[in-house]
Amino acid sequence: MTRSAVALLCQRLILCASLFETISAWSHSTKSPTRTRRLGTCLLGSPRDDANDPSPSPSGGKRAPPKSAWEGAGVPREDLPPGEIPTLLMKGLSLNDFPEIDSGLESMWAFAAGGTKHIFQHNVTEFVESAHETADTLPTSFYGVAMNGQSWEMETDVNMVGGEDGWIATQVMKTISSDGRLRRWQWELRKNRRPPCLGCWMVESIGSSDRRGKFEPE
């Protein structure tokens, strides 16, 4: 090979290396596009980018499970006590897209009593779209604080109305919205006394306080 051919080959290699570095630098500086949410209000903070990092849970200062290990809130089951359901569902909503897209909202739908499903004519797609729209536009709404808020914590233990054998349970939760506003919420759960899900606890309602964190007297 002549000297001129060797020189030409070296120039091409240098040009290729320079082009590769330019493309590599561009790809690292360009953010991945975020998932476009469907738009679409009812019964009824953002996950971090690294799926292997544990996300902080505002409840009691504990940490939520790593996203890679989070299996979701699941569906109602007879062995799940009412005192575990609000915390489980809130963790599910804070990690809404794990393990699948909208897993948290789909669990909320599964635990919702018949009134909510009747409002949406048993259409889970409309429910999910409505919850996203509410979360995105109303910071102090339930879905706004559950999915985008700064913090949440259960302020009380579960209260079994009528004693341990009762079929109604309540629990109060405090939240701070993404813009720093306080709200309290009273979860009301009822034990299903007919199929389907006979014996399972379902979410009957989630009542909101006023802006001072006070509940209206009944």
* Secondary structure (DSSP) of 72-135: ------TT--GGGHHHHHHHHHHTTTSSSTTHHHHHHHHHB-HHHHHHTTT-HHHHHHHHHHHH
Cβ–Cβ < 8 Å for 57, 63? yes
pLDDT of residue 65: 55
**Residue 23 reports pLDDT greater than 80:** no
Cβ–Cβ < 8 Å for 88, 76? no
Residue 58 to residue 99: CA distance in whole angstroms: 20
Cβ–Cβ < 8 Å for 190, 198? no
The owner of tokens 């953002």 is: 46
CATH, domain range 81-208 = 3.10.450
The distance in angstroms from the start CA to the end CA of the chain is 95
For the ranges 3-12, 15-24, 96-105, the one whose mean pLDDT is highest = 96-105
pLDDT of residue 69: 75
155 or 12, which is more confident = 155
pLDDT of residue 70: 83
Confidence of residue 47 (pLDDT cuts 50, 70, 90): very low
Distance of CA 178 to CAs 131, 137, 150, Å?
16, 11, 5
CB atoms under 10 Å from CB of 148, counted, come to 19
Instruction: Give percent of the chain with pLDDT exceeding 70.
Output: 68
Token pair, residue 203, equals: 């979410």
The reported pTM is 0.71
pLDDT of residue 37: 34
Query: If you count them, how many residues does the chain have?
Result: 218
Residue 95 to residue 17: CA distance in whole angstroms: 41
